[in-house]
Amino acid sequence: MYSNIIVDKSFKFAVNIVELYKIMINVKKEYVLSKQLLRSGTSIGANVKEGIKTISKADFRNKMSIALRKLMEQNIG
């Protein structure tokens, strides 16, 4: 099996998001934003993996576009 840097980085990002989510819930008691952070942060990797497994270039671009939009959601403020 080959290594893909985008898959690897999106997985590490998701792990970091889950850790941040735990801190937000347990320490900061922030529930609304933390749930959105968890959803969008972990969906990046899912969309990247789906994109890599697609057959057409159009599907690949679509999945990567979704992953990029989710990543941009994390960078607001």
The string of pLDDT tens digits covering residues 18-70 is: 999 999 999 888 888 889 889 988 888 888 888 888 888 888 888 889 888 88
Domain count along the chain: 1
Read off the pTM. Answer: 0.72
Residue-level pLDDT at 70: 82
**The domain spanning residue 41 has which CATH number?**
1.20.1440.60
- Residue 49 in tokens: 């993996």
Beta-carbon contacts of 30 under 8 Å, excluding residues fewer than 6 positions away, are 24
What is the C-alpha radius of gyration for the chain, rounded to an integer number of angstroms? Answer: 14
Domain that holds residue 50: 5-73
Whether the predicted pLDDT of 13 surpasses 70 = yes
